[in-house]
Structure 1
Amino acid sequence: MSSTPLGGEREKLVSKLPASLRQALKIRAAQLQTDVQDAVTAGIQSWRAAGPDLPTINTAGAESFGTNLPEGLYDEFKTDCRERGVSYIQGLAQAVALWLTDSQPPGQPRVTRRIVVCNQKGGVGKTAVAGGVAQALAEDPASVTNATDEDIAAPADVETALEAAERATQAGLRVLLVDFDPQGHLSHQLGLKAIPAGQESLITHMLNREQTKHELIDLTVVVAGDRFGGRLRILPAAFDAFLLDSGLTVFRGPRHAALERALATVEEHVDVIVIDSPPSLGLAMDTALYYARQRDDEKPGNSGLLVPVEAEDTSAQAYGMLIQQIDSLSRDFDIHIEQLGLVVNKFDSRRGYIATSSRDKWIALGNPPVLAVVVDLKEQREAVRLQKPLLDYAPESAQAHQMRKIARGMRTS
């Protein structure tokens, strides 16, 4: 494949582009003080170099769009589109999305995403969702093959287009799983033991950081699996996490920020932190909720809460209690804690009207959205028994694809 230079004569490109992408293109070009034609040229060059395995972008409602390209590039672009079996409109949309991904406005700080998986009701599958979503974020996108049409639904706007392009050009994100539940189920499911009481752990770094000898990142463990390429790590549970609430009551300092104080030291090493939180409404949960708040320099939708629920009435009651805790903490500290979405987990339609009507009520909430309805299947239980990550044990299972769908659904808005 040849590479057309940016200089020299130009020729007209006439195609169509979704309004959302066209608007984002103009805004980003203005931010970077570059011409739209140069931005599109760079995008097409990146598109040609990226290869054919790019996610499909929803081009419904695309409108006429024209710009100028270096002489010869338009013909090369059209030839590539024919060889890849995509329309010119689709190819251009993918190219623009790639350029938007590659270009960042000046002065925009990098903020590590913080996703807290929580519900004070036990047994709703927080651990399975936390582990599965973290695996999906760290997974090499090139290794995903047999997704269904529903699983790979085309992105509907510019932000999902950006994420689609990111998934195509990145080899997965650097993800840290934090087992913040004193029961340690997440650690056990991945073949690890909880850190014994008295040894350095997340808890000692929260309550007695000045007395610790190691960096917190050194306490993390790489999760095995070729699909993750060493990008997925876990901070194991600590046995003395059972005593965290009582320790926080006598903590000298802002106890609501104790978790953030500890995890701040690892943020530079990772792109995303996913926390499997305890099934409680105590002080430890306060620290997790506070950590998930939207920071002053952070875009909405970057960080927040992911809430697994079940399709039954007691789960709705527990969710109401969580909302009260979120509202109370938000008022006390004048912060915004965003709910990124709900996951209706372990769904079984054979349970009849209670299950189906409860599922429909969750979906009808609208905000926060239901990101996925995860059916109760055997692969997750088998992965737990074998102490393997679900996406490594059964990467093409329906549950694995649903975890990827959840990860895609938590988009930056």
Structure 2
Amino acid sequence: MTAPYDPSDREKVVSKLPLALRQELKVRAAQLSVDIQDAVTEGIHAWRSNPGAVEAVDTSGGSSFATYLPTGLYDDLKKDCKSRSVSYNQGLAQSIRLWLDTHTMPMLVRPEHVRRFIVCNQKGGVGKSAVSNGLAQALAEAGARVCVIDFDPQSHLTKHLGHLPLGIKEPSLAKFMLGEAEGNVRDLLIPVEYDTFKGRLFLLPACKDAFLLDAKLATTRHVRVKETALEKAIEDLEKDFDYIVIDCPPSLGYTMDTALYYARTRDGENPKASGLLVIVQAEDTSADAYDMLQEQIEDMEGDLDVAVTQLGFVVNLYDARKGFIATSSLEEWERFGDPSVLVIIPDLKEQREAVRLKRPLLDYAPDCEQAIAMRDLKKALTK
């Protein structure tokens, strides 16, 4: 947004606003990548030029709100408030309400065919579950219908969202892949019940018996072509969702082969529509693990004559304070070229707090830097 004033010529303004309005402003500004002070400034200009554009706002229970406005603008607002016989707090609240009403969250254009994002790397602990979770939330927040699949028997993503993995004797994704379950895989879906996602986000939870999946895929009679087992198990879900996000285990076995095959470019599909998101950290072991993943991808492409797109790297848990190791490693990832670095996610406390509280990050701390990075990742994949 280009400001019609000198952005350096500002003064601090302190007022009182209700908590709900302040929070909505913070979230919307974060969603749209707009600075709060610019949003408030634009809202005031709109309110001053449109008398009666907004009805009275309930400002009861207001608490301190501070921002920086162009010098003199608050005095102009107060003059208009006086002429309209409203309090200064009410005038500011109406200005913010007007900005919110005219700057709604942009909705995604739903894809014609389901898009499949496979979140992977062979190294554990890089944050695959956190990124899978955050990306799925950002897509659902923007209006898409999303299924996030916890394909890792360690069940971190399932537990992050406050659920337990399916028991060994229960129907599960692994059993559907092996032809050992009856019914429909849709029956396993759990809605992620938060207003932010409004019934658009569903979890397919992990299962404890997935530890045995590699061995069973190697010996079962029920899977004719082992690489297709995952696709066959969840193909009925595709018509219900715009995006399917899969959180993969750190594995080099048959389980990962099924995920790579599911990520392949299908006949007539744009090569950038679906593929792999490779999660790394700014250190050497992530690069070693990526080398192993690259070999597995090349083997599958050669053996089965398929193409698997690597959509990009996500550098997770980045902290420049770690010094040369972190900064030089980040530079190497950024020089990689193809695939490119899509987003850098900082190592901050909000994600860990959300996990501890079993709440989605975009609901718990929607305006934090990590939540903004998840939305940036969504933008990079859907632009």
Residue 332 (structure 2) aligns with: 361
Partner amino acid, structure 2, of 1:262: A
**Residues paired across the two proteins, number:** 281
Residue 242 (structure 1) aligns with: 211
Using the TM superposition, give the Cα deviation of residue 299 of structure 1 relative to its aligned residue in structure 2, in angstroms: 1.2
1:180/1:276 contact within 8 Å kept: yes
2:314/2:345 contact within 8 Å kept: yes
SS at match of 1:266: helix
Partner amino acid, structure 1, of 2:123: K
Structure with max Cα Rg = 2
Residue 353 (structure 2) aligns with: 382
Partner amino acid, structure 2, of 1:331: G
Residue 262 (structure 2) aligns with: 291
Residue 119 (structure 1) aligns with: 121
Using the TM superposition, give the Cα deviation of residue 332 of structure 1 relative to its aligned residue in structure 2, in angstroms: 0.5
Give the TM-score, by structure 2 length.
0.70
Task: Provide the rounded CA distance (Å) in 1 between the counterparts of 2:332 and 2:307.
Answer: 25
SS at match of 1:265: helix
Task: Provide the rounded CA distance (Å) in 2 between the counterparts of 1:289 and 1:320.
Answer: 15
Partner amino acid, structure 2, of 1:127: S
Residue 33 (structure 1) aligns with: none
Residue 68 (structure 1) aligns with: none
Q: CA RMSD in A?
A: 2.2
Using the TM superposition, give the Cα deviation of residue 343 of structure 1 relative to its aligned residue in structure 2, in angstroms: 0.6
Residue 346 (structure 1) aligns with: 317
Task: Provide the rounded CA distance (Å) in 2 between the counterparts of 1:113 and 1:341.
Answer: 15
Task: Provide the rounded CA distance (Å) in 2 between the counterparts of 1:127 and 1:305.
Answer: 14
SS at match of 2:382: coil
Using the TM superposition, give the Cα deviation of residue 369 of structure 1 relative to its aligned residue in structure 2, in angstroms: 1.1
Residue 274 (structure 1) aligns with: 245
Residue 298 (structure 2) aligns with: 327
Alignment of 1:169-208 (within 5 A): 172-208=143-179
Using the TM superposition, give the Cα deviation of residue 217 of structure 1 relative to its aligned residue in structure 2, in angstroms: 1.0
Using the TM superposition, give the Cα deviation of residue 213 of structure 1 relative to its aligned residue in structure 2, in angstroms: 2.9
Task: Provide the rounded CA distance (Å) in 2 between the counterparts of 1:373 and 1:110.
Answer: 29
1:203/1:240 contact within 8 Å kept: yes
Using the TM superposition, give the Cα deviation of residue 55 of structure 1 relative to its aligned residue in structure 2, in angstroms: 7.2
Give the TM-score, by structure 1 length.
0.65
Residue 192 (structure 2) aligns with: 223
2:172/2:181 contact within 8 Å kept: no
Task: Provide the rounded CA distance (Å) in 2 between the counterparts of 1:321 and 1:55.
Answer: 38
1:113/1:273 contact within 8 Å kept: yes
Residue 131 (structure 2) aligns with: 129
Task: Provide the rounded CA distance (Å) in 2 between the counterparts of 1:411 and 1:330.
Answer: 25
Using the TM superposition, give the Cα deviation of residue 214 of structure 1 relative to its aligned residue in structure 2, in angstroms: 2.2
Task: Provide the rounded CA distance (Å) in 2 between the counterparts of 1:395 and 1:214.
Answer: 37
Task: Flag structure 2 segments of 5+ consecutive residues without an equivalent.
Answer: 1-30, 34-48, 51-105
Partner amino acid, structure 1, of 2:317: K
Task: Provide the rounded CA distance (Å) in 1 between the counterparts of 2:340 and 2:138.
Answer: 19
User: C-alpha offsets along residues 306-347 of structure 1, whole Å, 9 cap, x if unaligned?
Assistant: 011000011111111100000000101111100111011101
Task: Provide the rounded CA distance (Å) in 2 between the counterparts of 1:269 and 1:410.
Answer: 20
Residue 301 (structure 1) aligns with: 272
Using the TM superposition, give the Cα deviation of residue 233 of structure 1 relative to its aligned residue in structure 2, in angstroms: 0.3
SS at match of 1:120: coil
Using the TM superposition, give the Cα deviation of residue 410 of structure 1 relative to its aligned residue in structure 2, in angstroms: 1.3
Task: Flag structure 1 segments of 5+ consecutive residues without an equivalent.
Answer: 1-53, 57-81, 84-97, 103-108, 142-171
- Report sequence identity in percent: 52
Task: Provide the rounded CA distance (Å) in 1 between the counterparts of 2:220 and 2:339.
Answer: 34
User: C-alpha offsets along residues 231-279 of structure 1, whole Å, 9 cap, x if unaligned?
Assistant: 0000000100000001100133101000000010111111100000011
Task: Provide the rounded CA distance (Å) in 2 between the counterparts of 1:283 and 1:304.
Answer: 18
